[in-house]
Structures are given as structure tokens and as C-alpha cells.
Chains A and B, each alone.
Chain A
């Protein structure tokens, strides 16, 4: 800044004369204060249950039973059968996560206000969370299986002559991922939506915006960061799919996901370093997808009234 003639301007802006703030003020400015101790349990938890096993596995993955430190990684990527599990898993997890998020938005949008029976609907939508994967798989087999109700109804209506195959293949796992992932996505989106001030849409209405314009220009942009976060969470849940891939999928073929490859390495071949290497690859892929989404998210508005995104 150039030197001005105004005396108080030089006092206010001249760096040499500005006394340094007390160290407590400077720490407080960076959020360092007594409340930091509230983080202690979480830090302990993360160190014990996440960081330690992670670094243990990372170390293990570089100590293969034979060959150099990277030979297990080379083995995984060199084997088309193993390498293909990445695409199989992404092919399940990305569409499932996307569908979960996209389907949650209109339902949560409709349900964000207060109305009669809201609690009942919420409970109904959330029940699958309490079921667990195995029970869901059981239900899917009963309902969508070759002799299940769904096919019996289709055949009774003569819509099809032979049962439609919806389990023990890609679709069985996909449905299972929707059933278990949707409630999470829905609850998250609903809470993000309730964080958006409803008068904003009213203001848009008085300015001549119809419901679709209100949604597109006001609510959706404010919801986007929350949707990105929700997508990441449901993607991670779907990416580590294991029980349903075995129970309602085709674990030897089209739903041989990456966690099955890791399981086989660890508990069928007892090759822990190789299993660790596969787990590390799995983590790296998740990290790449999440980074891409979160990077895109930083370009969005994430301030106040934008849900809690």
C-alpha cells in the first residue's frame, strides 16, 4: 500500500507499528483452545482402530512371501482375473451410490416439511438399516428368486414364461446395495435439506420462480455439497460390499468384487501380505474417487444455510 497522508491510515496499516497479538489470541484465531480436549476420545479411537491396522497392513503388503517389496502389487495388476475385480466393484458401487443419492433427493425434498404421517414414512424407509445385510439377502432370495413372489406374480399375469433371473447375478447385489444404502443416503439428504432455510424458496417464489426453477436455482445448489458427501459415504459402503456379493450374487463370476479377492487371498491361500496389498489397492481406489468428488465439492458454495454440507 502506498503511504497516505491520512495519519490514522498509516497507524492502522503500517506493519511495524502494529503490536503483535498475545499468543493466546493467535492460538484462539487458529481454533486452539481448551475445547480441543473434546477431540481426545476420537483421536484415540482413530489411532487404535484405524491408523494402527492401516499402517500394519501397509507394512505387511510390502513384505511379500517371495519377491521384492512391490511384487504382490505387480501380481495383482498382472493378473487379469484379479485386476478385473476393480471394474466389477466399481460397476456395482458407482451406479448404486449414484442411484441412492439421486433417489433420495426427490423423496427427501417432498418430505422436508411437516406433514401427517411423516414419522411413519421415515420409519418405513429406515427399517432396512436395522435388518442387516444377511437378512436383506434372505429376503431378496425369497422375493426375487426363481420361485419367489415376484416371479410367480409375473408368471401368473403371463408377462413372462420363465422366471426372470434377478438373484445370483449382478442385479441381486445391486438391489441389495440399494436396499441397505438408500436409507443412509435418505437420512443424510433429509438432514441436509432441513438445514436449508425454507424462506429462501419462498423468496424465490415471490420473485417469479416456479417450483422447478426454485429447486434448480436455489435448493439444489445449496444441497450439492451435502449430496457430494452423501455420495462419498454410500460409495464407500457399496465399494466394500462382501456378504451380499456372496449371498445374492455370483461370487465366482460377474460379482467377484475386490473384497472377495482379498478374502480368498487371506483365508483360502493364507497369503496375508497379498491380501494386504489387495486391501491397499481397494483403499487407494476409494481415495481416488472420494478425492475427485470432494475436489469438485470445494468449487461449490458451502457457507451458511447450505444445509450442513
Chain B
């Protein structure tokens, strides 16, 4: 590293908020980013991910809160004095400059020696594999190539923090995987602290050290990929993290550490994620891959007879949709050769059926933030 930007040991966001009119695009984001960390900002469209990045980069003034780089307050600095690199959602490449000039732009602004500019530019272009296109204008590149130019332009400065706004959203599946590895490699080899926005949970899980899930401008959960994968803090996070089966039910009675839930005379036992008292409305969630398909007639806990309705071929596995006798629709994945119309018995491991309080989206409570990262064994919200 050439050390042109001052490094930091941690970047602290303290109640960062941004309103547009009466709408909270981002409400009270508290987050501490350690140097070298890879943070993914995750959430559905319009949840405030780009707003958070723009606030960090200094492109949007905050309506409340502050940002601290170690002991230095940076939210009052203009973007050009923060030294954070950014990859924009719409690339924002300079249309009148060649790929090479785009990548060299930041180095030129720092008035580095000409040789160094040439060397680092060439290196960054090679890194994103655009050597053949270095002389072209952005308008002559495909969407994916433009995106790679945007990445090269941001990382060539080796900034103390790189902000990436869905940098892979326009790439085809294969290139996307390659670039994902590339970004991870860049992050590791350059030690770049990265905040990465995506709405693709798989991408977030595979890249990030820590995930921040946003919904409607509010933090839902902060934690390691494992925590979010296995212990979502509420059913909105679960919904986002691939719990495709989410059934509104009612809690009946506690069973040891577990809880029995019921809907339309159909009874399941699951793992409570938070305060669940008998009679409460709950959301019971399970991933399609955690639904087991057995022979009809099996009787065990959490086993229900169902009929396969739709089958999608997905390579080694089948993704299927089944309907239970009581009318509940179940998404499942299986390597059994099931066909529409087959009668099966579905069963769910009680540990894998997560029971969320229905209203838990209203007031996410304190334990949601998980600064330590991987606290695997600990349920997210036990009150």
C-alpha cells in the first residue's frame, strides 16, 4: 500500500439518520466497522441501502447522527476530503474519458507522479481484466464491463474504505461468481475495508464478515453470516434469508425449550425466537431445504401428510411445492423424484422450525445488534 489515505482502526456510525420529507429513508443506524472488515448491507429494494452508503460517502447530508473515524468526526467533511472510494449503482463512469482515463482519474486528482499513475492504472485494469478495452469509451462497453471499470476506478486509490452499491447486479451468473471471488480476493490482498450493498442474500453470505439487514430504513439485525442464516432476529429477516415457508400460526403451549404452535387444527413444534406466550400470534418459518420428504403414513413429531403440486427441476435437486391436508402451502427441496400428485409425508426437525412473534418487526429490541459476530449457539431474541 502506498498509504495515500489515512487509515483508521474503526469507523463508528452513531445514530446516522436521513429523512426525505416526512419519510425516514434511514433511521438511527448504529454500526462500528473495524479496519479490514467486509460488511454487507442487505435488504429489500427501497430499504435505505443506497441512502446509507451516500451518507457514509458524504454525498447526502445527515439529518441526525454522526460518523467517527477513530476520534475524528468525518460526517462534516465533504466527500473529496473523506477519501472513501465508491462504486455507484449506475456506475457513474465519465462518458467522455476512456477506460484508462476513468481509472486514472482519482490518481490524477492526487497529483501523483505520472509513472506511478500509469503503473497503478494498468495494474487495476488488469485486475478487472479489461486490458483489451482500456482505450474505449464507457459507451462502447457492455454493462458488465462498465461495472468492472467502476470497481477498478474505486479500488485503484486503495482507499481506507470502499463503498460498493450493488456492484455485481448487472453481470451474468458466471461473471458474477467470478467477480464475487475477485472482490473477495481484492479485499483480502489489499486489506480494503468494504461496505457492500446488495439485495442478494447469497452474495452477502458468501462475501461478508458481518451482515446488516435493513428494512424500511431500520436495522433489523447485525451479525455474522452464520447467525443470520440460522438465527434470524425476526420473521422479516427470516423472509429475507431464505425462509420461504412462513406461516401465520398461534402459540399453544411451551414444550421444554420448544413451543407448540397451531393453525387450523394443524400442530407443529418449533424453536421460539423471542418472547412467545401461549395464545400469541406467531410466524413459523422453515427453509425449503429443511423440509424432509418421507413415505405417506409416517408418524412422528412435525409430520404432516401433503400432496405435491408443482415440481421444478433444479439440477441435482427438485424444488417442489406441496399442499397439506389443511391447506397450507409448503415449499421444499428434495433429491427424491417426486411428481405432481404424489402423496407424501413432510416432516420438519423442531430445531429447524423457527417461531417468531408476529409483531416483532415493530420494535426490534437491543440484543439485535451482535457486535461480537458469530454467537452461533445463542438464539437471536430470547428475552
Contacts and interface: CB of A to CB of B under 8 A. Distances in A.
Answer yes or no: are A and B bound together in one complex.
Answer: yes
Interface of A: 197, 199-200, 202-210, 213, 217-218, 221-222, 300-301, 303-306
B293 to A, nearest CB: 46
A208 B96 contact: no
B169 to A, nearest CB: 16
Interface string B62-94: 000000000000000011101111101010111
A205 B79 contact: yes
A206 B85 contact: yes
B80 A305 contact: no
Interface stretch (B103-111, B243-251, B337-345): B103-111
B124 interface: no
Given A208-B106, A301-B96, A304-B139, A203 B86 contact: yes
Given A205-B79, A207-B157, A304 B105 contact: no
B109 A206 contact: no
Interface string B137-152: 1010000000000000
A213 B109 contact: yes
Given A208-B110, A209-B109, A217-B105, A203 B83 contact: no
Contacts of B137: 301, 303
Nearest to B79: A205
Contacts of B93: 203
* Max chain B C-beta neighbours (<10 A), residue from A204, A210, A222, A300: A204
Contact of B79 (A202, A217, A300, A301): A202
Given A199-B90, A303-B137, A304-B139, A206 B59 contact: yes
Interface string B39-78: 0000000000000000001110000000000000000001
In the A-B complex, the 6 residue pairs with the closest CB atoms: A301-B96, A207-B106, A203-B92, A205-B79, A199-B92, A208-B109
Contacts of B135: none
B377 to A, nearest CB: 41
B213 to A, nearest CB: 25
A232 B65 CA distance: 50
Given A204-B109, A207-B105, 15 more contacts: A200-B94, A200-B95, A203-B86, A203-B92, A204-B105, A205-B58, A205-B59, A206-B79, A207-B106, A207-B154, A208-B157, A304-B95, A305-B95, A306-B95, A306-B96
B114 to A, nearest CB: 17
A303 B139 CA distance: 8
Contacts of A213: 109
A197 B139 CA distance: 14
A208 to B, nearest CB: 4
Nearest to A214: B80
B94 A206 contact: no
B357 to A, nearest CB: 41
A200 B79 CA distance: 13
Contacts of B154: 206-207
Given A205-B78, A207-B106, A199 B88 contact: yes
Contacts of A301: 95-96, 137
Report the interface size class on chain B.
20 to 34
Given A303-B137, A305-B95, A210 B88 contact: no
A303 B95 contact: yes
A205 B157 CA distance: 13
B107 to A, nearest CB: 9
A207 B57 contact: no
B231 interface: no
A88 B318 CA distance: 85
Given A221-B96, A222-B96, A301-B96, A206 B105 contact: no
B96 A206 contact: no
Contacts of A306: 95-96
B80 A205 contact: yes
Contacts of A204: 94, 105, 109
A197 B58 CA distance: 18
A77 to B, nearest CB: 42
Contacts of B80: 205-210
Contact of B153 (A202, A207, A304): A207
B152 to A, nearest CB: 12
B157 A200 contact: no
Contacts of B157: 207-208
B88 A203 contact: yes
A206 B78 contact: no
* Max chain B C-beta neighbours (<10 A), residue from A197, A202, A207, A210: A207
Contacts of B58: 205-206
20 contacts: A199-B90, A200-B92, A202-B57, A203-B93, A204-B109, A205-B59, A205-B80, A206-B85, A206-B163, A207-B105, A207-B109, A207-B154, A208-B110, A209-B105, A217-B105, A301-B96, A301-B137, A303-B96, A304-B139, A305-B95
A200 to B, nearest CB: 6
A217 B96 CA distance: 10
A282 to B, nearest CB: 35
A206 B59 CA distance: 8
Nearest to A197: B92
B94 A218 contact: yes
B226 to A, nearest CB: 33
A49 B137 CA distance: 42
A206 B95 contact: no
A209 B96 CA distance: 17
A154 to B, nearest CB: 42
Contacts of B139: 303-304
A218 B102 CA distance: 11
Contacts of B92: 197, 199-200, 202-203
A275 to B, nearest CB: 45
Nearest to A202: B59
Nearest to B95: A305
Given A301-B96, A303-B137, A305-B95, A206 B84 contact: yes
Contacts of A222: 95-96
A217 B97 CA distance: 10
